[in-house]
């Protein structure tokens, strides 16, 4: 068999459905082998679009998303996606081409050391130097990308190797179960939980990666222990539940942190230090039980006293079996904090100023979205408003990146969600800065006939950095820009372009876009003038006084 055919067969064996990417001449054998394969090629307009889509496919399915690029410039364009998948715990396999390695007449044209470049950004990177090793290396790339903690892997397939003939056979996937936590660690955790007076549960990204919601629901129902989430743990348990306190969108100085500081035990389900800290541990503060697939990486602000290591859902099930509700548990203060958080989250939701108040935008989006609807955020200051104020009902319905926190992934991640869940409502929420970093993928979205709404929060600036600049008492400088006419811009791609003219007009327009097929872009002028006052000053003062 030809090596490139074998490679594609190996991908089929792994259950690959899509390859996202941009081929170069070095990938033409692979491209040709795809003609007779059930695997669909999703051609994008920038390798970043492909990489972010592949990573999100992995994030949502647990199966490595595959992206493809040529050597040199194509591969360097995938670098940010590798970091995104690797830090975000998203399984992704990158396949890049290369000039022939056995003999070549092209000198060093376009050649960079791609395997070396990927080394610090991946779990595994390898140049295939012979066709016979394709089956084992593909298997290895998938095994490593997918097993906890998931991340990015990379294979380089040089042109001459892709064209070789080989007798090798594909290697079947091995069936493996995730290891489960040791009974003794469960008993130690139960001892700590029973001894605590104010235990609190935190839901992190790892709890969203695999289905842990059912077991967690049982644990919470049995114990009545309140919970909060990290940004990437949103939706693991319903956030309209009376036991949900809030989401830690900031690292400190929000009302939620008063509850966290008053806890004596945090039962941390699935958070690791890659995410921006949801709280800071201190020497004499609360204890932490780290429930995760892997032991905790230790950090000055995170040094848990106990690890319960193994499959999270199983650990929670084991804990549920053993735990007993304790008379001495006292959640009164948590309940006061919850009341205050809920009041604060309701402030501004009917504010009719225009350009629009971010709090109202969040409330209107929540109102328009069904429980199963997915919002996919790019990175900007609105991420704080959405993670803090938007109440998710189901796991993985708020896709945001609080790990690499890169700009440019909002639209491609929404495209991947829409491709995977054609029956669900999907909305990308982007700043005007982040959207423009991969706006060319509107063409891909239109070509794929996706149903998708893209909300652009337009402040004509890199607002997040302006917010930080104001907080540092620096004058406003160097962060403003102009924008294209987004309505015409969308239309030029064959998408529907809309602009919000009044704050009352936003919700009906969004509902219209969600109800109608196609790619819709909504230009929403936003008023960020109070970000600094509310998020940096008021919240700190009010929460400290509380
Ligand atoms: C690729 C990348 N470049 C730069 C940054 C730093 N950064 C974080 S948010 C931000 C501004 C975002 O602007 P915009 O997308 O317009 O959102 P806004 O905050 O204005 O709502 C910048 C420059 C980043 N996170 N990622
Ligand atoms: Mg902006």
The alpha-helical segments, DSSP class H, found in 78-156 are 79-88, 114-118, 134-146
DSSP 494-534: TSEEEE--SHHHHHHHHHHHHHS-SEEEEEEEB--TTHIII
Work out which ligand 1 atom sits closest to the CA atom of 408: 1
| Cα–Cα distance, 155 to 142 (Å, whole number) | 10
pLDDT in tens, 92-133: 999 999 999 998 888 888 999 999 999 999 999 999 999 999
CA of 380 relative to ligand 1 center, distance in Å: 5
The arrangement of strands across the sheet holding 92-98 comes to 40-43, 18-21, 65-69, 92-98, 152-158, 124-127
Report pLDDT for 124: 98
pLDDT digits (tens, 9 = 90+) for 438-467: 999 999 999 999 999 999 999 999 999 999
Question: Which ligand neighbours the alpha carbon of 48 most closely?
Answer: 1
Q: For the packed helices 503-515 and 358-368, what is the interaxial angle rounded to 10 degrees? A: 30
> What distance in Å separates the CA atoms of residue 245 and residue 266, rounded to the nearest whole number?
13
What confidence tier does 210 reach under pLDDT thresholds 50, 70, 90?
A: confident
CA distance 453 to 426: 7
End-to-end CA distance of the chain: 71
CB-CB neighbours of 443 under 10 Å? 18
pTM of the prediction? Answer: 0.98
Distance 428 CA to ligand 1 centre (A): 15
C-alpha distances out from residue 214 to 237, 314, 354, 394, 486, Å: 9, 11, 42, 11, 42
By the 8 A CB rule, do 4 and 30 touch?
Answer: yes
pLDDT band at 479 (very low <50, low <70, confident <90, very high): very high
Mean pLDDT (whole number) for 288-302: 96
**Hey, which of 378, 432, 434 would you mutate to test ligand 1's pocket, going by the most ligand atoms within 8 Å of its Cβ?**
434
Model pLDDT, residue 545: 87
What's the per-residue H, E or C state across 22-87? CCCHHHHHHHHHHCCCCCEEEECCCHHHHHHHHHHHHHHHCCCEEEEECCHHHHHHCHHHHHHHHH
- How remote is the CA of residue 439 from the centroid of ligand 2, in Å? 14
Pairing of strands 40-43, 92-98: unpaired
pLDDT band at 174 (very low <50, low <70, confident <90, very high): confident
Could you read off the pLDDT of 31-75 as tens digits, one per residue? 999 999 999 999 999 999 999 999 999 999 999 999 999 999 999
Backbone phi and psi for residue 267, each to the nearest 5 degrees, phi listed first = -95, 100
Question: Mean pLDDT for the chain?
Answer: 97
Supply the residue whose CA is at minimum distance from atom 3 of ligand 1.
407
pLDDT tens, position by position, 364-400: 999 999 999 999 999 999 999 999 999 999 999 999 9
> 164 φ, ψ to 5°?
-65, 160
Q: Which ligand is nearest to the CA of 383?
A: 1
Residue 93 gets which letter from DSSP? Answer: E
Q: Are strands 244-247 and 227-229 parallel, antiparallel or unpaired?
A: parallel
- Give the per-residue pLDDT at 107: 83
Task: Report the pocket of ligand 1 as residue ranges, CB < 6 Å.
Answer: 378-382, 405-408, 431-434, 457, 459, 461-465
Which residue has tokens 């995938």? 78
Backbone torsions φ then ψ of 203, nearest 5 degrees:
-105, 125
Q: Which atom of ligand 1 is nearest to the CA of 435?
A: 15
Paired sense of beta strands 265-269 and 287-292, if any: parallel
For residue 371, what are its two tokens?
A: 């429980």
Place of tokens 């008023």: 527
Q: Which helix (H) or strand (E) holds 272?
A: none
> Which atom of ligand 1 is closest in space to residue 379's alpha carbon?
9
| Ligand 1 probe mutation, 407, 410, 480, 535, most atoms within 8 A of CB | 407
* Alpha-carbon separation of residue 396 from 179, 211, 277 (angstroms): 24, 10, 20
- Give me the pLDDT at residue 106, please: 82
**pLDDT score at 207:** 96
Q: How high is the pLDDT of residue 134?
A: 98
Q: Residue 459 CA: which ligand 1 atom is closest? A: 20
Choose one of 88, 359, 458, 462 to mutate for the ligand 1 pocket test, by most ligand atoms within 8 angstroms of C-beta.
462
Secondary structure class of 387 (helix, strand, coil): helix
Expressed in angstroms and rounded, the spacing between residue 288 Cα and the centre of ligand 1 is 33
Q: How far is the CA of 379 from the centre of ligand 1 (A)?
A: 6
Count of residues for the chain?
546
Q: How far is the CA of 461 from the centre of ligand 2 (A)?
A: 4
491 dihedral zone (left: phi>0; alpha: psi -120 to 50; beta): alpha
508: left (phi over 0), alpha (psi -120 to 50) or beta: alpha
455 near 507, Cβ under 8 Å?
no
């Amino acid at each position: 068999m030809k090596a490139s055919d074998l490679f594609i067969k190996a991908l089929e064996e792994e259950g690959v459905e899509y390859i996202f990417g941009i081929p170069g001449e070095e990938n033409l054998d692979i491209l040709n082998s795809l003609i007779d394969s059930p695997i669909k090629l999703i051609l994008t307009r920038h390798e970043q679009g492909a990489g972010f889509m592949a990573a999100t496919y992995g994030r949502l399915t647990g199966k490595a998303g595959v992206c493809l690029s040529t050597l040199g410039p194509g591969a360097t364009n995938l670098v940010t996606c590798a970091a995104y998948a690797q830090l975000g715990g998203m399984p992704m396999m990158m396949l890049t081409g290369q000039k022939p390695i056995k003999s070549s007449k092209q000198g060093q044209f376009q050649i960079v050391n791609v395997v070396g470049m990927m080394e610090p950004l991946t779990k595994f990177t390898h140049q295939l130097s012979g066709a016979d090793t394709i089956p084992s290396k593909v298997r290895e790339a998938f095994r490593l990308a997918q097993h906890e903690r998931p991340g990015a892997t990379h294979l380089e397939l040089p042109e001459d190797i892709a064209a070789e003939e080989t007798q090798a056979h594909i290697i079947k996937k091995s069936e493996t179960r995730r290891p489960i936590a040791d009974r003794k660690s469960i008993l130690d955790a139960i001892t700590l939980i029973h001894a605590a007076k104010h235990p609190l549960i935190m839901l992190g990204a790892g709890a969203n990666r695999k289905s842990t919601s059912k077991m967690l629901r049982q644990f919470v129902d049995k114990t009545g222990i309140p919970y909060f989430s990290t940004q990437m743990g949103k939706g693991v348990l319903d956030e309209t539940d009376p036991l949900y306190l809030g989401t830690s969108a900031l690292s400190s100085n929000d009302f939620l942190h008063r509850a966290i500081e008053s806890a004596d035990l945090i039962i941390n389900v699935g958070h690791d230090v890659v995410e921006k800290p949801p709280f800071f541990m201190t020497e004499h503060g609360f204890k932490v039980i780290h429930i995760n697939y892997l032991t905790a990486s230790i950090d000055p602000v995170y040094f848990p006293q106990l690890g319960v290591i193994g499959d999270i859902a199983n650990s929670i099930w084991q804990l549920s079996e053993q735990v007993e509700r304790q008379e001495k548990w006292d959640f009164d203060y948590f309940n006061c904090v919850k009341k205050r958080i809920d009041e604060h989250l309701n402030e501004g939701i009917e504010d009719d100023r225009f350009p629009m108040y971010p709090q109202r935008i969040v409330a209107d989006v929540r109102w328009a979205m069904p429980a199963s609807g997915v919002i996919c955020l790019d990175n900007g200051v609105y991420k704080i408003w959405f993670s803090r104020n938007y109440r998710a009902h189901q796991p993985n319905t708020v896709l945001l990146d609080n790990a690499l926190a890169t700009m440019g992934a909002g639209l491609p991640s929404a495209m991947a969600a829409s491709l995977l869940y054609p029956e669900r409502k999907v909305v990308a929420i982007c700043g005007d800065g982040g959207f423009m970093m991969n706006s060319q993928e509107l063409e891909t979205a239109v070509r794929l006939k996706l149903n998708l709404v893209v909300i652009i929060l337009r402040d004509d600036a890199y607002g997040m950095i302006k917010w930080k600049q104001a907080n540092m008492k620096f004058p406003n400088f160097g962060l403003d820009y102009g924008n294209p006419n987004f309505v015409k811009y969308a239309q030029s791609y064959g998408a529907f372009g809309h602009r919000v003219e009044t704050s009352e007009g936003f919700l009906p327009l969004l509902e219209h876009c969600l109800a109608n097929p196609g790619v819709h872009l909504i230009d929403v002028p936003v008023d960020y003038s109070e970000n600094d006052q509310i998020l940096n000053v008021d919240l700190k003062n009010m929460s400290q006084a509380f």
